[in-house]
Amino acid sequence: MPIKVLLADDHKIVRQGLKALLEKEQDIEVVAVAEDGRSALNLVHELSLDVAVMDIGMPVLNGIEATRQLAAEKPETGILILSMHSARRYVLEALSAGANGYILKDCASEELAWAIRAVAAKETYLSSKIADIIVQDYMKVIPDHEPAPCTILSKREREVLQLIAEGNNTKEIAYQLDLSIKTIETHRQQIMRKLNLQSVAALTRYAIREGLSPLE
């Protein structure tokens, strides 16, 4: 049976290009595509999938947060990050969230297929540049920085923070998350308190810097 794959990327042309490349592989079948992390999560729950190929910078729910939730809720589905980001913080946070592989968008099409096969086989796959980052991380003492949002904010608070950073108002966030306006306001107050930030602008800058929301 072919490996059943979901492609999640917020750029339509990228999704189409990746799908066209993978359609040439006899043992890989793209059964679904998604333009944001929330849609990707919903599709994984609806369909029987072997591998979810995720971008990081997606709206509504970013790829790292989607990975974290997917790894907890559907551990049988392998997760491969396909991103333009090679910075250490993105790589380590994605792997810590539960990703089984990480490759860069400038990789050869053959490598994408190899990575999908490896992840489907419950193996870890890292492109050479990403592997170098991991090796360097183990070979040096990394100075402490301010806590990452995943360690000080709850799952729901991270979701609310991303939606705030993407310009949604309280009513829109409440609708998207199926919560009351009062609950969203409480979450926003808690986020500001935990991060010691006092404005939406500051929250937006923080979310972008920490990779919770794309720059676009």
- Pick left, alpha or beta for residue 141 (phi over 0 → left; psi -120 to 50 → alpha; otherwise beta): beta
pTM of the model: 0.73
Backbone angles phi, psi at 6, to 5 degrees: -110, 135
Token couple for 162: 């991303």
**Tens-place pLDDT, residues 151-165:** 688 889 989 998 988
Query: Helix 181-195 crosses helix 200-209 at what angle (to 10 degrees)?
Result: 70
CATH number listed for the domain at residues 149-209: 1.10.10.10
**Tens-place pLDDT, residues 77-133:** 999 999 998 888 888 889 889 999 999 988 877 889 999 999 999 998 988 878 777
Token couple for 44: 């994984």
- Where exactly are the structural domains of the chain? 3-139, 149-209
CA distance 121 to 204: 39
Helix (H, G, I), strand (E, B) or coil at 92: helix
Could you tell me the CATH superfamily of domain 3-139? Response regulator (3.40.50.2300)
Report in angstroms the alpha-carbon separations of 67 from 58, 83, 210. Answer: 12, 13, 16
